[in-house]
Amino acid sequence: MAVTAQGQIIGRIVLEERELPEPFFGKSYFIANLLTHADFRRQGVAAALVDAVKRQAASRGVCCLYGSANATAEASLFWLAQGFTLHAYGRKQEDPCKPLWYGNYYHIISYRIRRAALCDSAAAPCVVRKASAEETDGALDALAGCADVSESAAALWRGKRASLAGFVAQDDAGRVIGRLLMYPDSMQPPVDGTRFFLRLLVEPEARLRGVGRTLVCAAAAYARESGAMQLSVFEADQTWVGFWDRLGFDIYFYDKNAVTGRRAVTAMRRLDTP
């Protein structure tokens, strides 16, 4: 908590220590509440509390901080300024008379205590280039044939065809061994910016060789040149979560599917971090 020299409590942050979901090992802090006395707001009290939590988490080996916050302009911009990644989630207000930013969404917020670099200096294991229109259509066909991609998900990506960008990875013989599709999406108000959703497809025989990382690095460079703020990935289950974690993405696990016993995962990466 934050107190004045006279002992008055002017702010507090409430944390819950939680185990990370499988397949990870370790602990996280869930930010259950952050409150600042009305007379002391906009004076750096909340930021100081968050900084104290970051230091404590680092000293205790906690991997990440996460929680949710109302998607008001003040809350969203505050968490962005603290280095958190935001993912808009939640229902719109039923009252159409209210402004869009008046609590229509809540944000998932996440912060990595130690973040792996997205791209490294190792030599690329393949050649990556922009995909042609024909190759982009081929990637959409391949996506529709993936066992873990639902018909509705495949249809969503086809519906984005006009705005899709794509990359392909080739081996020394010129064979395509990996594909990446991406489309721009507006961040939910009040955040004024763009994120790119990604879908990665790597041939089984080319996996675990750095092909996926090289494709994602190309996508990140393209997104930065486009002025985007963030990369986002939605996976229907947690199969590939380790890959995105090793690239320094913030990982958010949804509740387990009652039928499959697995979790859907959202992976997010701000582009203003190394």
What residue ranges of the chain are covered by domains with CATH 3.40.630.30?
2-112, 127-270
Asked if 109 and 85 count as a contact pair (C-beta separation under 8 A), the reply is yes
Q: What is the pTM of this model?
A: 0.83
User: Does the domain spanning 127-270 belong to CATH 3.30.460.10?
Assistant: no
Residue 20: name the closest of 224, 198, 174, 245 by CA.
245
Q: What pLDDT shows up at residue 43?
A: 93
pLDDT one digit per residue (tens) for the chain, 274 residues = 899 899 999 999 999 999 887 777 789 999 999 999 999 999 999 999 999 999 999 999 999 998 888 767 788 889 989 999 887 665 544 554 444 444 456 678 888 898 888 887 777 889 999 999 999 999 999 999 887 788 888 899 999 999 999 999 999 999 999 999 999 988 766 677 788 999 999 999 999 999 999 999 999 999 999 999 999 998 766 778 889 988 989 887 776 666 666 777 888 899 987 6
Phi, psi of 10 (to 5 degrees): -120, -5
**Distance (Å, rounded) from C-alpha 258 to C-alpha 264?**
12
**Distance (Å, rounded) from C-alpha 47 to C-alpha 43?**
9
Residue 265: name the closest of 32, 108, 75 by CA.
108
Q: What pLDDT shows up at residue 213?
A: 94
Q: Amino acid identity, residue 134?
A: E
Q: What pLDDT shows up at residue 114?
A: 85
> In terms of CATH architecture, what is 2-112?
3-Layer(aba) Sandwich (3.40)
Token readout for 98 is 């209210």
